Amino acid sequence: MPLHPEIAKFIAALPAPPKGPLDPVALRAADEAHVAPLEERLPLHAVEDVTARTASGEVPVRIYTPVEADRHGVLVYFHGGAFFLGSLETHDHVARSLAKETGLKVVSVGYRLAPEAAFPAGLDDCHAVVRWVAEQGESLAWDGTTLALAGDSSGGNFVAAVAARAHDEGFDRITHQILYYPSLDLDFDVDRYASLRENAEGYGLETAALKPFNAFYLDSGADPADPLVSPVKREDLTGLPPALVVTAEYDPMRDEGELYGRRLQEAGVEATVSRYEGANHGFVQHFSWIPEYHEVFARTRDFLARR
């Protein structure tokens, strides 16, 4: 189907990208400028900013409790932003919707960003917070059952990397992994995936922008050949948690996400791959107000309910 008309209208109104080298500070400021005021955000039972004291250091997290209850399952959320953008604020609405629709307590992670924090600082923070949740289960009122991971774009990369790293360390508490249009292969060879060519221009995120946007991460020491940087390159995917991989029809990175889902299935992992027609990269963050795309949260809820 064609690109959704509301998305097409938004893209048509976008200003031309700035010329010259990317300025991460300016781009972050522009990103934060679009955050909704507090009074307009989805209300929940409780939203609390705390500091997780972990093996990786002190990591800011925001905890969303959907309803009053003695115990909750927990979903740990990693925001997207090409490893240098995004924050607890820019993705606050995504975390709120996840909490509301799934009924789980959501722990959103304010991990360190490139280029100021070199690889693997952000990944270490995400991994450490998952461990922290399990260790602090009693104080978090975790029910000891569901411990899911979710992330969008580069946050989906961290979901896959954390799940693999935890598996290799023998940490078996992660019950689900949810990847929204994940960035899983940081080797941006356009011959590798058809979607890099088919969706190269005109859909918001363009193939030519992938290298410069991810350069902050790669130049900080992240090697695209490393499976913790490009999780699709991991050879053995057996034993990983059940996965929901959500892709977008008009996303340059669509095919790497779908390949990862197929490889999980071939490795015997329960994996569901769901492509959203008419959608582009970032639709969960930017266009979940459109009813057919808000449905992704219900699909997430149903996936989490399987176990």
List the strands of the sheet with 243-250, edge to edge.
46-54, 57-65, 105-109, 72-78, 142-152, 176-180, 243-250, 271-280
- Is-catalytic flag, 153? yes
- Is-catalytic flag, 230? no
DSSP string, 235-300: S--TTPPPEEEEEEEE-TTHHHHHHHHHHHHHTT--EEEEEEEEEETTHHHHSTTSHHHHHHHHHH
Among 124, 125, 251, 255, the active-site one is 251
- Is-catalytic flag, 251? yes
Q: What is d(CA 28, CA 301) in angstroms, rounded to the nearest whole number? A: 31
Among 87, 153, 220, 230, the active-site one is 153
Among 91, 127, 176, 281, the active-site one is 281
How far, in Å, are 78, 80, 202, 239, 270 from residue 282 at the CA level? 14, 9, 14, 29, 25
Report which DSSP code applies to 15.
P
Radius of gyration of the chain (CA): 18
Residues with catalytic roles: 153, 251, 281
